[in-house]
Amino acid sequence: MIQIVLIDDHELVRTGFRMILQQQPDMAVCGEAASAEEGMRLIRCLKPEIAVVDVHMPGMSGIELTERVNRAELATRIVVVTVVDDGRFPKRLLDAGAFGYLTKGCNAEELVTAVRQVATGRRYLAPAVAQQLALATLDGSSSPFDALSSRELEVAMMLVRGKPLTMIGEQLNLSPKTVSTYKQRLMEKLHVEHVLGLAHLMTAHGLIDAPNHQVGS
């Protein structure tokens, strides 16, 4: 029996995943968490084979959780299910130690397949994600965004979507002052002076699609 923990701050998402996975005769959802911090405690306590994890959550991100599980050499394998399907985000998570990467547009059958495959120790990438990852790898060019920490990358993504510092702070459980520090640090690392420049740089490196973001100040 494959023991699974669900880690996502949206209860409806967890409910949907639980209904799909519990229908399988070889799977059991043994715990759920609405934050990465709570999820980390569950992983240490329950020692599940699989943790299905979202990337963007208040407080600790899914990337940080994956890194911590890997550093602690825990046996639990991470399957990321998120709305983010850009080629560099899965690369970041796979480098952090994730075994699977799906987008929330996947169907129930693909989720089940991914969990089963990862439980056997094999990686699983959604076909669209695998294609994006291959293209990001084949172009051979390094990205300036590789210099950013997981949290800095998250803040950058939210900034170019037009979210104010206060809202970013609320969603990531950080003070506006801390978010401002992250903003300043990532701008310095990327050698940009404003969010518009950040958006142009992210578009140039394929992190966002030009028509789909709203740039703040």
Per-residue model confidence (pLDDT) at position 213: 46
- Look at residue 93 and tell me whether its pLDDT is greater than 60: yes
Of 199 and 203, more confident: 199
pTM for the structure as a whole: 0.69
| Domains delineated in the chain | 2-138 (3.40.50.2300), 144-212 (1.10.10.10)
Backbone angles phi, psi at 27, to 5 degrees: -130, 145
Q: Residue 122 — very low, low, confident or very high, per pLDDT cuts 50/70/90?
A: very high
Q: What is the pLDDT of residues 51-70, one digit of tens each?
A: 999 988 877 888 889 988 98
How far apart (Å, rounded) are the C-alpha atoms in residues 31 and 19?
A: 13
For residues 176-203, give the mean pLDDT: 90
Q: Token digits for 79?
A: 């399957």
Q: What is the pLDDT of residues 12-31, one digit of tens each?
A: 999 999 999 999 999 999 99
For residues 79-98, give the mean pLDDT: 75
For residues 112-123, give the mean pLDDT: 94
Per-residue model confidence (pLDDT) at position 143: 73
Q: What is the pLDDT of residues 125-165, one digit of tens each?
A: 887 777 666 656 555 556 787 788 878 888 888 898 888 99
B/e letters for 55-91, b = 16+ CB within 10 Å, e = fewer, are: bbbbebbbbbbbbbbeeeebebbbbbbbebbbbbbbb
